[in-house]
Chain A
Amino acid sequence: MTATHDVVLVGGGAAGLRAAIEIAEARPELSVAIVSKVYPMRSHTVSAEGGAAGVIAMGDTLDEHCLDTIAGGDWLSDQDAVEYFIGEAPKELVRLEHWGCPWSRQTDGHIAVRSFGGMKKMRTWFAADKTGFHLLHTLFQTSLKYPTITRYDEWFVTRLLIDDDQRVCGVVAFQLATGRIETIEAKAVVLATGGCGRVFPFTTNANISTGDGMALAYRALAPLKDMEFVQYHPTGLPFTGILITEAARAEGGWMLNKDGYRYLQDYDLGTPSPTPVLKSMELGPRDRLSQAFVHEVERGRTIDTPYGPVVHLDLRHLGAEVIDAKLPFVRELCLKYENIDPVTELIPVRPVVHYMMGGVSTDINGATPLRGLFAAGETACVSINGANRLGSNSLPECLVFGARAGRAAAEFAASTRPPDGSTNTQAEDERRRLERLRSRTDGRDRIADIRQQIQQAMEDGAGIYRDHETLAKSADTLGDLAERAATARIDDHSDTFNTELVAALELQNMLDLSQAIIASALQRTESRGAHQRTDFPARDDEQFLAHSLAWREPDSTCRIDYQPVTITRWPPGERLYGR
Chain B
Amino acid sequence: MADTITLLVTRYRPDTEAEPTVAEYEVPLRKDWAVLDGLNHVKDQLDGTLSYRWSCRMGICGSCGMTVNGEPRLSCATFLTEFAPGPVRVEPLANFPIVRDLVVDIDDFLRKLPTVKPWIVRHVDWVEDGEYLQTPDEQSAYQQYSMCINCMLCYSACPVYGVDPDFLGPAAIALAQRYNLDSRDHGAADRLDVLVHPEGVWGCTFVGECTRACPKGVDPAGAIQRYKLTAAMRSVRALLLPWGAR
Contact check, B55 vs A44: say whether CB atoms are below 8 A apart.
yes
| Distance, CA A160 to CA B135, complexed state (A) | 48
Once A141-B119, A500-B49 are accepted as A-B contacts, the answer to whether A102 and B139 lie under 8 Å apart by CB is yes
A436 at the B interface (CB under 8 A)? no
Which of A94, A206, A491 interacts with B49 by CB under 8 Å? A491
User: Which A residues, 153 to 206, have Cβ-Cβ distances below 8 Å to chain B?
Assistant: 153, 177, 206
A384 at the B interface (CB under 8 A)? no
B149 at the A interface (CB under 8 A)? yes
Which of B109-117, B153-161, B194-202, B204-212 has 4 or more CB atoms under 8 Å from chain A? B109-117
User: Which B residues, 14 to 32, have Cβ-Cβ distances below 8 Å to chain A?
Assistant: 14-16, 32
B134 at the A interface (CB under 8 A)? yes
User: Which B residues, 135 to 149, have Cβ-Cβ distances below 8 Å to chain A?
Assistant: 135-136, 138-139, 142-143, 146-149
A207 at the B interface (CB under 8 A)? yes
Contacts of A497 in B (CB 8 A): 51, 99-101, 103
Closest Cβ of chain B: how far from A100's Cβ, in Å?
Answer: 4
Contact check, A207 vs B51: say whether CB atoms are below 8 A apart.
no
Once A38-B63, A47-B61, A206-B56 are accepted as A-B contacts, the answer to whether A102 and B103 lie under 8 Å apart by CB is no
B193 at the A interface (CB under 8 A)? no
| Distance, CA A144 to CA B143, complexed state (A) | 21
Which of A38, A95, A207 interacts with B57 by CB under 8 Å? A207
Mark interface residues in B101-134 (1 if CB within 8 Å of A CB, else 0): 1010111001001100111101001010011111
Q: What is the chain B residue whose CB lies nearest that of A491? A: B48
Q: What is the chain A residue whose CB lies nearest that of B52? A: A499
Mark interface residues in A90-133 (1 if CB within 8 Å of B CB, else 0): 01001101111011010111110000000000000000001001
| Distance, CA A97 to CA B127, complexed state (A) | 9
* Residue among A91, A102, A494 facing the most chain B CB atoms (10 A cut-off): A102
Contacts of A494 in B (CB 8 A): 13, 15-16, 49, 100
| Distance, CA A137 to CA B147, complexed state (A) | 9
Q: Which residues of B contact A (CB under 8 A)?
A: 13-16, 32, 43-45, 47-49, 51-63, 77, 99-101, 103, 105-107, 110, 113-114, 117-120, 122, 125, 127, 130-136, 138-139, 142-143, 146-150, 175, 179, 182, 184-185
Q: List 30 A-B contacts (CB under 8 A).
A: A38-B61, A41-B150, A44-B55, A91-B127, A97-B132, A98-B120, A98-B132, A105-B139, A109-B135, A110-B133, A111-B131, A130-B60, A133-B60, A137-B148, A144-B113, A144-B119, A177-B105, A207-B54, A332-B59, A337-B58, A446-B44, A447-B44, A448-B45, A494-B13, A494-B49, A496-B14, A497-B101, A498-B51, A499-B52, A500-B43
